Structure 1
Amino acid sequence: MSTDLTAAAIAAQVRSGALTPRDAVQAALARIAERDPGLGAFVTVRAEQALAEADAVAERSDLAALPLAGVPIAVKDNVPVAGHPLGNGSRASSHEPSPGDHPVVARLRAAGAVVVGLTAVPELCLWGTTDTPDTVTRNPWNPGRTTGGSSGGSAAAVAAGMVPVAHGADGMGSIRIPAACCGLVGIKPGLGVVPAELGVDSWFGMAENGPLATTVEDAALMLSVMADRPELATVADPGPLRIAVATGSPLPLVRVDPYWRAGAESAAAVLGGAGHHLATARLPYPANPLVILARWMGGAATDAAGLDPALLQPRTRRHVAVGRVLTRFVDPAQVRKVDAALRRVFADSDVVITPTLARSPIEALRWSEKSWLSNLAANIRYAPFPSLWNLVGWPAAGVPVGIHPESGTPLGVQIAAPPGGEALILSVAAQLERLRPWERTAPS
């Protein structure tokens, strides 16, 4: 079987009988065995279980109607997968197998997908790099650079061609940041579109589950299943739109790399050439960083409740301790204020385009051994753009637009829209993909 098949193509071939689910899964497992040792994308590979589940998919009476028939997928190790402990990147996590699947995993399986493995995350999914004391997950485009975080393991698995699509989760950009680092399409849906985490408040409503893929078609297909909204799988032409282009830095002390800025501007120019109206904009990023930081750190404190602090990494212990203090500063009125300011921007715009990152992926190191302040500064300096959309709960996607000439890693843009704009974002992303196609996976 070709390693170049998209999820949509695999599913079509399985539905037609040209390919069996077992063959699709075996090919993915072979690629994982070959490519993952140098990248560290997976924490668990479900070889025997996945093959048995592939055979079960082949016997389903509704095989010909399954949208993800036989598609091998990876699941980020921050949601329950039945029979496997929920690791969440931490030695402090329970070692007891999860009794059932998260609703998103259940939906993917019901659609015919086969979970071939669980992917690496930083501890409690807190950081913009994916590493633990045991493993550093590396970027397939440049192994010296990070895949981003916290869905970095899923991004590495897709970017290296091990699986065509993967589950991700995004609380501060954790789908869009890895997508930008690894040259993928990743979408964070708006609030309530896809089931979020279980048993917690999902970082005060900032965290959402979504797909990572190599094409817009695959991202739309997987999102449609995760959201249980089949209409999202059909990506329409966007028609002429008003596109706001906002390349200014979200933070006064953070400089945007000129190549990342130019990537967003050139992508906008391509869309302008297709008939859209372009206008520059300045987005209302919160003047007080505590509005977002308190939710990030307070969410960590919630997730760490009940865990043994002695087993947490030093950077995480500090993050959790600060979060317990800052939680008192979380006020829904802050979100309403930013939301209202954003709506004023969108009174004259349909979507906005920004760089996804302020600079290329930082070094792939054991950041877990570095100080809390070092992690904080490194994360904020390179990835300040995505968190605004988590704060307000609006949809946003990351899309590749080229290669950075110095790091050799991809460049990417972020496309965002008001609530309910997932289909519109996907349509703009698909148009950009047609006009400026990208390499789907990293060179071998």
Structure 2
Amino acid sequence: MTTHAEDTRELGLEDTAAALANGTTSSVDLVRRSLDAAEASQPSLNAFRILRREAALAEAAEADRRLAAGERAPLLGVPIAVKDDVDVAGEPTAFGCAGEFPAKTADSEVVCRLREAGAVIVGKTNSPELGQWPFTGGSFGHTRNPWAAGRTPGGSSGGSAAAVAAGLVPAALGSDGAGSVRIPASWTNLVGIKPQRGRVSTWPETEAFYGITVIGPLARTVADAALLLDLVSGSHEGDLHQPPPVTVRDAVDREPGRLRIALSLKIPYTATPRTLHPELKDAVGETAHTLRKLGHEVVIADPAYGLLLGLNFLPRSMAGLEQWRTRMPDPSLLDPRTQANARTGRLLGGLPLRASRAAEPRMRRRIGAIFDDFDVILAPSTATPPPPVDALDGIGQFETDKVITAACPYTWPWNILGWPSVNVPAGFTSDGLPRGVQLMGHHDTEPMLVSLAAQLERELRWDRERPEQWW
């Protein structure tokens, strides 16, 4: 007996793995359905840069052979998507850019770990150019939000978020350099985990974007996101950061205990004043109410971000863009805004970059002082609901920065500090658009954050919500 086609988009990561292990479906069947759904949705949803039909079906057939022989692995035969900033052997890595890119000859470390777990990678998902915007669009067109065709799913992991929210795959990997997992998770009703720096290897990058970018999972449930994080966690011998290992899936089934939680609506330093949309403020307040009902103490308190925080982020992000620009087959095809940012990166890549790295420990001590009194920080993931899909089209650098900082001023400090943060869904706006909030922790606190997120999920059951299919 196999699952019905209409049930496919209801299966989570653990459900899919269990169905394969007990023989109620086959990997070839699931992978074909995933590919068919992705191809059918591509003209409208546009979640994927590359679909690996021939290779993925061959890998699925091999997974079925292994399953029939009694072999088991955590994700053996399960279809998964990855963002197009990690290398998959035999496929190009364009990272949202135009042009002809050579096929990679080797898998990145995170893809190696997916393969070791038995996963079948059906495709690589769309990202804005070099991951620099919280909107997913570019030379490939716009990736759209499954909850509202006219809205962005966010970015830069917008393709991965759209694929999971639409049920094309049960889970996917994204990357987060300024909120790029948490932002699209918040705008598509998903759980998105930004792990501790170094928790998931970025090899062949020894350190992605000078330490601000990490790889993390997107899924409908905390358990699925936690399982995927565990399976891809670990270091390559060449990684610059190699934190001690932690296991987070087990934390899903543990109660977190009574926690002291700081509720912070403070917008970290940006160049111009920003405001929080009232329905996003309500989302934080409603989550705080739920946390109090669950027995936690929630107190209004803000981290001491400081005025120099933004000056620490800029050299690392801009120098990282310049580093990627030099790898482009034809840099002249890059968006003029990307080229301008890369020029800034050339200017900031020397002394300013070294100064920003040297200042990081002091910033950790100052901002981390809040954890002397609190276990977790509760904050918005974004300042607005998902904007129109074309909000960045046809505008210059200054206007682009205004749109970005107005919508997404909350997530980037944790990228500088390298600490974990989890987006959890927080209901919907009056227009039916998803909202999300962050649970932000100190170093090595993924298990606690996951335990708390799972407790919220059991209470709120966001995993039962699905977008109405329009693609």
Partner of 1:238: 256
The answer to whether the 8 A contact 1:133-1:366 is kept is: no
Partner of 2:238: none
Q: CA RMSD in A?
A: 1.7
Give the C-alpha shift of residue 370 in structure 1. 2.6
The answer to whether the 8 A contact 1:35-1:160 is kept is: no
The answer to whether the 8 A contact 2:109-2:203 is kept is: no
Partner of 2:459: 435
Tell whether 2:98 aligns with 1:91.
Answer: yes
Partner of 1:265: 285
Partner of 1:250: 268
Write out per-residue CA displacement over residues 411-436 of structure 1, whole angstroms, 9 at most, x where no aligned residue.
10011111111111111111111111
Partner of 1:401: 426
* Residue from 99, 112, 115 that aligns with 1:109: 115
Shift in CA distance, 64/10, structure 1 to aligned 2, threshold 3 Å = farther
Give the C-alpha shift of residue 440 in structure 1. 4.3
Secondary structure of the residue that 1:385 maps to in structure 2? coil
Write out per-residue CA displacement over residues 246-294 of structure 1, whole angstroms, 9 at most, x where no aligned residue.
1122246010111111101211210111111111111222413222122
Deviating runs (4+, > 4 A) in structure 1? 61-64
Shift in CA distance, 45/316, structure 1 to aligned 2, threshold 3 Å = same
Give the C-alpha shift of residue 441 in structure 1. 3.2
Matched letter for residue 312 of structure 1: L
Partner of 1:391: 416
Correspondence 1:332-411 to 2 at 5 A: 332-365=357-390, 367=392, 369-406=394-431, 408-411=432-435
Kindly tell me the number of residue pairs found equivalent between the two proteins: 442
Partner of 2:337: 315
Give the C-alpha shift of residue 231 in structure 1. 3.3
Q: Give TM-score, length-normalised by structure 2.
A: 0.90
Q: Distance in 1 between matches of 2:448 and 2:281?
A: 23
* Residue from 449, 453, 468 that aligns with 1:425: 449
Q: Distance in 2 between matches of 1:10 and 1:352?
A: 33
Tell whether 2:65 aligns with 1:65.
Answer: no
Write out per-residue CA displacement over residues 73-117 of structure 1, whole angstroms, 9 at most, x where no aligned residue.
11100110010011111125x621100111111111111111111
Tell whether 2:322 aligns with 1:301.
Answer: yes
Q: Distance in 2 between matches of 1:418 and 1:230?
A: 14
Give the C-alpha shift of residue 368 in structure 1. 5.7
The answer to whether the 8 A contact 2:146-2:188 is kept is: yes
Partner of 1:131: 137
The answer to whether the 8 A contact 2:98-2:139 is kept is: no
Q: Distance in 1 between matches of 2:260 and 2:247?
A: 24
Secondary structure of the residue that 1:142 maps to in structure 2? coil
Q: Distance in 2 between matches of 1:297 and 1:373?
A: 15
Write out per-residue CA displacement over residues 344-375 of structure 1, whole angstroms, 9 at most, x where no aligned residue.
10001111110100111221117364312222
Q: Distance in 2 between matches of 1:142 and 1:57?
A: 36
Tell whether 2:250 aligns with 1:225.
Answer: no
The answer to whether the 8 A contact 1:71-1:114 is kept is: yes
Secondary structure of the residue that 1:138 maps to in structure 2? coil
* Residue from 22, 31, 35 that aligns with 2:37: 31
Partner of 2:347: 325
Correspondence 1:136-155 to 2 at 5 A: 136-155=142-161
Secondary structure of the residue that 2:247 maps to in structure 1? helix
Q: Distance in 1 between matches of 2:465 and 2:219?
A: 9
Secondary structure of the residue that 1:398 maps to in structure 2? strand
Tell whether 2:61 aligns with 1:55.
Answer: yes
Partner of 1:207: 213
Give the C-alpha shift of residue 198 in structure 1. 2.1
Partner of 2:302: 282
Give the C-alpha shift of residue 64 in structure 1. 4.9
Tell whether 2:39 aligns with 1:9.
Answer: no
Matched letter for residue 44 of structure 1: I
Give the C-alpha shift of residue 34 in structure 1. 3.0
Identity over aligned residues, as a percent? 38
Write out per-residue CA displacement over residues 100-137 of structure 1, whole angstroms, 9 at most, x where no aligned residue.
11111111111111111111111111111111123111
Matched letter for residue 124 of structure 1: L
Q: Distance in 2 between matches of 1:368 and 1:80?
A: 28
Give the C-alpha shift of residue 63 in structure 1. 5.8
Partner of 2:89: 82
